[in-house]
Amino acid sequence: MPVRGAAQLSRRLGQKKRLLEAEEPGSDLHGAPTPSPTEPRLGRPASLGPQRSLYFSSSKSCSARLGSEFFDQPAVALAQAFLGQVLVRRLDDGTELRGRIVETEAYVGPEDEAAHSRGGRQTPRNRGMFMKPGTLYVYVIYGMYFCMNVSSRGDGACVLLRALEPLGGLETMRQLRSALRKGTAGRALKDRELCSGPSKLCQALAIDKSFDQRDLAADTAVWMERSALGASEPAVVAAARVGIGQAGEWAQKPLRFYVRGSPWVSVVDRAAEQSTQSGPLASVCSHEAF
DNA sequence: CGGACGATTTTCT
DNA sequence: GAAAATCGTCCGA
């Protein structure tokens, strides 16, 4: 097997560059002058004011942006509460990409042997896990993909977003997902292939390392909107988490949650579905915030 | 400073 | 189903 040529690499990078230029002309995200890797991004107060007032005056409460108080709950509760909510990504050209969260995983903190924060390890990479609830923790996996987490209540605790039901901007998602794929630009991806995995959804929403440590409650390019599960989908499955090995008690714990029967979930666990009790999640359906 | 390893996805057999 | 792709991060020397 010949070593991957520089020509091929640059061609692929060129593809991505072209796409990003098309999607986000005059991007200030990708064109920012060499930010420090650990530089915190805490939103843009200058543009937040006008946008927020416009937002509140033109939107109904059912699509209200979720604030800091929502994210301030323990990881398991937050992982369940995320199901049904809508993740929104606004590209620099104004395009809004939307997806309904259908699968999450809870990483409960230093005692969780499968968490990056296990044993209380705190490094520059996982700092977001220790920041205030609602802070994003985005990290690189396998040298080429990203995973997106939201910090929850509890030091070193967070929730991994694993799958979305794409709701808006599907064609842009398809382009973003296809851009880095190998070979002949291939066939068009099916809708189900857009966001059915933690790194797929990051690709589809153009979430990269520059989103690490941003505040999901305040950022202008990414946020979450309230949209609880409907009565027709009352059941949530609790299953073992994916990709963390089989060994140890923490690998077995049912800390992955997904909407039963949803075709948008990345991995279904039939055995877990047998043993998971059906029933509405009261916390998801409640309206205590309003 | 070097080696091993991923909270994955894609491609090939 | 198996194996490759691909490199930031972490840890031990």
Per-residue 3-state assignment (H helix, E strand, C coil) for A199-215? HHHHHHCCCCHHHCCCE
**CA of residue A260 to C1' of nucleotide B5, angstroms:** 33
Q: Is the CB of A194 under 7 A from strand B?
A: no
Range A281-289, long-range pairs (CB < 8 A, 24+ positions): A281/A80, A281/A81, A281/A83, A281/A229, A281/A234, A281/A236, A283/A77, A283/A80, A283/A81, A284/A80, A284/A81, A284/A83, A284/A84, A284/A228, A284/A229, A284/A236, A285/A228, A285/A229, A289/A69, A289/A70, A289/A226
Q: Is the CB of A178 under 7 A from strand B?
A: no
Q: Is the CB of A104 under 7 A from strand B?
A: no
| Token pair 């990078």 in the structure block, residue | A13
Residue A35, domain member (yes or no): no
Residue A193, domain member (yes or no): yes
Residue A155's CB is within 10 A of a number of other CB atoms, namely: 13
**CA of residue A5 to C1' of nucleotide B12, angstroms:** 20
Q: Is the CB of A117 under 7 A from strand B?
A: yes
Question: Looking at the DSSP assignment, which residues form a beta bridge with residue A136?
Answer: A150
Range of the domain at A105: 68-234
Torsion of CA A69, A75, A81, A84, to 10 degrees: 120
Q: What is the CATH number of the domain that holds A89?
A: 3.10.300.10
- Which nucleotide lies at the shortest CA–C1' distance from A124? C9
Residue A179, domain member (yes or no): yes
DSSP state of A53: H
- How far apart are the C-alpha atoms of A173 and A70, rounded to whole Å? 27
**CA of residue A142 to C1' of nucleotide C7, angstroms:** 7
- Which nucleotide lies at the shortest CA–C1' distance from A241? B7
Q: Is the CB of A193 under 7 A from strand B?
A: yes
Residues 6+ positions from A120 with CB-CB distance below 8 Å: A110, A156
Going by C-alpha positions, the residue among A140, A97, A132 that lies closest to residue A214 is A132
- Going residue by residue through chain A, which has 290 residues, state the pLDDT in tens, using 9 for 90 and above: 333 333 333 333 333 333 443 344 333 433 333 333 333 444 344 444 444 545 555 545 566 999 999 999 999 999 999 999 999 999 999 999 999 999 999 999 999 999 999 999 999 999 999 999 999 999 999 999 999 999 999 999 999 999 999 999 999 999 999 987 765 556 899 999 999 999 999 999 999 999 999 999 999 999 999 997 877 766 999 999 999 999 899 999 999 999 999 999 999 999 999 987 665 554 443 333 32
**CA of residue A182 to C1' of nucleotide B12, angstroms:** 13
Residue A220, domain member (yes or no): yes
- Which nucleotide lies at the shortest CA–C1' distance from A127? C9
pLDDT in tens, A38-49: 334 443 444 444
- Which nucleotide lies at the shortest CA–C1' distance from A137? B7
Residue A8, domain member (yes or no): no
Residue A169, domain member (yes or no): yes
Residue A247, domain member (yes or no): no
State whether residue A117 is helix, strand or coil: coil
Q: According to the model, what pLDDT value does residue A38 have?
A: 37
Domain count, chain A: 1
- Which nucleotide lies at the shortest CA–C1' distance from A143? C7
Q: Is the CB of A113 under 7 A from strand B?
A: no
Residue A30, domain member (yes or no): no
